Each structure stands twice: as C-alpha cells, then as structure tokens.
Amino acid sequence: MKSFGDLEGWWDNPGSEAVSNIENHHVTGECFKFSVLAVKIYNLWGFGGILFSEKGEIRAIFSGSVLKLGWFIAELEAIREALQIFVAADSFGGRALVVESSSRVVVNWVYIPLQRPGNLCKILADIDSVKLKIKQISFVARSASSSESAAWLAKDGANRRETFRAWW
C-alpha cells in the first residue's frame, strides 16, 4: 500500500500534475490535500475522499453514493463534498487546499466553464460557490491508484444511503 510519505516531492509543486491545457494554479503557504475518487460497484456509484495535512496527517474523511448516476457525477459530488467539509471545518480556515481528482475531464470542467455540459450546471455552480470561500485552491488530475484510502472510502460509499463525514 502506498503511504502518504511515498508522495514526497508532490508538495514542492502540486500544480505540476494539473491538466496541461489549463492555467497552472499554484498554492503557497501551509497546504492541505484532499484526494477524491469515484468508483462503480456492481451498478452503484460511490465516492469518497480523504484530507491530508502537509505533514501527512489524516484530518477528514467522507464516503457517499450517487446510486446509478455515473462516474462524472460521482466525481463532481466527491469534489463538492470535499470543498464543503473544508469550509465547514473552521480549523482549516486560511490554509490553501489542493483537490486531487482522478478525472482530467472533471478538473477541466471545474476550471473552464465553457467546457461544462449543460446538464451538470447545478453541481458545478455549487462547486464554484464553495470555491469562493477558500483562500487558495487548486485542482489536479492524478491516477486513481494514487490514493488507495480514497478508493476504499468510495467503495464503501457505494453501499451507503447517506453520506458519511468526519473531520478533526
């Protein structure tokens, strides 16, 4: 299992993993990283996420389901949930956030409004609204295998009727 320590060097330049056709958004200062992921278990879609401090400490987790709505919606829901938790947990206030998604397409939608599909306007507008409450934020697309913990939470989420959230 890959540990957070295996990601050494990631913090030096988190924006280097950003999608190549979007502007690189770097963050400075103390930074948190939220790894989010969506998975399909049988015909159900789950999503999950795990928040790491710069020191590698786990500070928040969540797990939920979007039933049969599809991967992009599950990935967007994971991003929205991550942002809402980050804002709700006042102890993280003023710190930068990097959101790591397994979908380059979704990261493009977050950054480039003109590329957004019309049927996803509501969830993307919610994401835009919450983004404004975070001092510094960046989104990156990385391999789904980069966070086994987020994958486990997403698998767990496929079987949930309500979203589980915890932070400390």
- Helix 71-88 crosses helix 104-111 at what angle (to 10 degrees)? 60
Q: How far is CA 145 from the centre of its chain?
A: 14
pLDDT band of 102, cuts 50, 70, 90: confident
Q: What distance in Å separates the CA atoms of residue 49 and residue 83, rounded to the nearest whole number? A: 11
pLDDT band of 125, cuts 50, 70, 90: very high
Domain count, the chain: 1
- Domain membership of residue 47 (yes or no) is yes
Residue 98 three-state SS: strand
Q: What distance in Å separates the CA atoms of residue 41 and residue 24, rounded to the nearest whole number? A: 34
Q: What distance in Å separates the CA atoms of residue 132 and residue 167, rounded to the nearest whole number? A: 21
Q: What distance in Å separates the CA atoms of residue 91 and residue 3, rounded to the nearest whole number? A: 24
Contacts of 107 (CB under 8 A, 6+ apart): 18, 19, 22, 101, 139, 140, 141
Range of the domain at 159: 28-167
- Domain membership of residue 3 (yes or no) is no
- Mean of the pLDDT values across residues 96-113? 92
Q: Is the pLDDT of residue 83 over 90?
A: yes
The more confident residue out of 78 and 1 is 78
Of 73-77, 88-92, 121-125, 141-145, give the lowest mean pLDDT range. 141-145
- Domain membership of residue 15 (yes or no) is no
- What percentage of the chain has pLDDT greater than the value 70? 79
> Each residue of 30-43: pLDDT tens digit?
789 999 988 888 88
pLDDT band of 146, cuts 50, 70, 90: low
Walk across the sheet containing 164-167 and list its strands: 137-141, 96-101, 31-41, 44-52, 58-67, 164-167
- Domain membership of residue 11 (yes or no) is no
- Mean of the pLDDT values across residues 65-70? 78
Helix or strand holding residue 104 (H, E): helix 104-111
Q: What CATH number does residue 64 fall under?
A: 3.30.420.10
